[in-house]
Amino acid sequence: MTTPADTRWPAAKRPLRKHLAGLLSAAAFAVALVAGQGADAADPVVMRISHQLPPAHHIAQLIDQFAADVEAKSNGAIDVQIFGAEQAYKANQNHPAVARGQVEAAVSTNFQWGNTIPEMNVVTLPYFFTKLERIKKFPGSPAEELLDQKLLEKGVHNIAWFYTTRQSIFTSAAKPLVAVDDFKGIKIRGLNKLVDEGLIAAGAAPAAMPGSEVYQALQTGVIDAGLTDVSAAYSRRFYEVQKYGTVSPFFSVYFHLYVNPSWYDGLAPELRKVVDDAAQSAEAASIPLTEKTAEDAIRQLQEKGMTIHVQTPEEAAAFEAVMQPPVMEAFKASSPDAAKLVDLVNAL
């Protein structure tokens, strides 16, 4: 039976597994949880993946394709069940759920680790991790290996990094935010305590809030300006409450796929290879997919009537000179390995 999620894929590429995001209640998930724990050895290996993304998000679709690849290449020996849109766990619950073995896998965004793994903030340093060549060299690099080790120390085994954005957008209603001085006195949606130091250096007043609350805050004037990636600005309909948008390589974001180490180590070698190969394929596919999604979003925002300005290299350099230094200083002071990680990224 074709599910709503499956209709997003061409017929030849539609996932051949049960897509559970948006279809199961919490009670149904509990039944699936018990069933997964009590499965007979002859049954397929169950791989439940929890994530926070809505079905239309391009990374959610990438996870769908990963699941389809695993099921196809394992000849059904692995049954991948996806619980998206926080159907199983809230975003901040995914890590402990995987570490405790309550679910086999999850997908989280890098900045959700907060102070737990401060090194995960390296990709969100202003104007530091946004060059495409650097992003392409990250998989398999010493920088990635350091982060993977940090994750393992917290009880999860990372298997893929899904590049999600390097194109941020500063949105506004009263006037365009083109020069650094335009941010003075502006109440803007912040990202996290670290990155907000850069906004403060530009004279803005960042306010922390989840992405789901930004639209209403902009609409009611609680904040003057939005900050998100260009794809989210379109999907969250910022064009209805914001006239202007400045696209900037302000920071990058990654979602990453991680599994329970005991579950992973218990896989037969041939099944472990299937999971690894599918993860690497999805990781590589995330780069062109994300770039195209960003290009489409910029065009779509313009079609909806937003006046879009794309920062020139000179403008980006002026923003970097003001915003990066305080954030970089705070990042290097956040952990003993932070400075080492900066050097590893600079080597990419």
The overall longest dimension of the chain from CA atoms, in Å, is 65
Residue 45 and residue 271 in contact, taking contact as beta carbons nearer than 8 Å: yes
> Residue 106 pairs with which residues in a beta bridge?
50, 258
- Residue 36 neighbours by CB under 8 Å, 6+ apart: 46, 48, 104
The 8-class DSSP code of residue 190 comes to: -
Encoded tokens for 293: 């999604």
Q: How many C-beta neighbours within 10 Å does residue 59 have? A: 25
- Per-residue pLDDT 10s for the chain (348 aa) are 233 333 233 333 333 344 444 444 444 455 455 544 444 446 999 999 999 998 989 999 999 999 999 999 999 999 999 999 999 999 999 999 999 999 999 999 998 998 899 999 999 999 999 999 999 999 999 999 999 999 999 999 999 999 999 999 999 999 999 999 999 999 999 988 999 999 999 999 999 888 779 999 999 999 999 999 999 999 889 999 999 999 999 999 999 999 999 999 999 999 999 999 999 999 999 999 999 999 999 999 999 999 999 999 999 999 999 999 999 999 999 999 999 999 999 999
Cα–Cα nearest to 221, from 207, 210, 202, 200: 207
* Residue 346 to residues 145, 198, 252, 318, Cα–Cα distance (Å): 15, 20, 15, 20
> In angstroms, rounded to a whole number, what is the distance separating the alpha carbons of residues 119 and 230?
25
Amino acid found at 59: I
Q: Which residues contact 216 (CB under 8 A, 6 or more apart)?
A: 222
Residues in the chain: 348
Chain centre distance of CA 313: 25
Following DSSP, what letter does each residue of 12-57 receive, concatenated? GG---S-B-TTT--HHHHHHHHHHHHT--TTSPEEEEEE----TTS
Predicted pLDDT of residue 127? 98
Q: Contact, 59 vs 161, CB < 8 A?
A: no
Report the alpha-carbon distance of residue 307 to residue 301 in Å, rounded: 8
Give the span between the Cα atoms of 238 and 243, in whole angstroms. Answer: 9
**What is the SS3 string spanning 183-200?**
HCCCEEECCCHHHHHHHH
pTM, rounded to two decimals:
0.86
